[in-house]
Amino acid sequence: MVGMVFVIPFSLPLINSALSSGLGIFSSITFANARVIRSIRNFAARLWEAVALWVKDPMSLLIALITSWFGVACYLAAVWVCARGLDIEVSLFDVAGVTGLTYFLTLFPISINGYGIRELGVIALYTQLGAQPEAAAALALITRVMLLTVSLPGAIWLGRVMKQGGSGIRQD
């Protein structure tokens, strides 16, 4: 999540454009809602608790952050290649902006795992960038399948760990 924070600056032009054009997905979100503000404060408190653990060993935090950036960069490159394959003329920076914005939109607790919210955001934002709605919808579905596919090995591993009742770490 911290790695994705660094792509938010690429989202700012999209947010400004969406707000000025009255794009429906953004006009329905109320940022002044007390519940949302309370959620943000709770998140900040939990984030601070997690960071406090890493302060004792800052090098491990730096290594984790760099690794996170590498993973985010690989995902952005994969989405960009898919978009170009669908004849969506966007830059890697556009992909970073859309990805960062849709990632954080899916964190709002209004759907399960962001299903539907992410796809709607991808379609709306890529259409805003000039893509045909059909191509944007195809990109939304292809990238959702990509996300599910890379998560599948972890789900299989977790299933095995749960069956064994252990930590999944061999103690040979």
Amino acid at 92: L
75-88 burial string, b = 16+ CB within 10 Å, else e? bbeebbebbeebeb
What's the CA gap between 158 and 152, in Å, rounded?
Answer: 10
Is residue 172 in a domain? no
Residue 27's pLDDT is what? 46
In this predicted model, what pLDDT tens digit does every residue of 120-158 receive, in sequence order?
999 999 999 999 999 999 999 999 999 889 888 888 888
What's the CA gap between 17 and 1, in Å, rounded?
Answer: 24
Say what percent of the chain tops pLDDT 70. 84
What DSSP element (H or E) covers 66?
helix 58-85
Mean pLDDT of the chain: 81
In this predicted model, what pLDDT tens digit does every residue of 79-96 receive, in sequence order?
999 999 999 999 999 999
Is residue 169 in a domain? no
Domain boundaries, position 105: 2-164
Is residue 170 in a domain? no
Domain count, the chain: 1
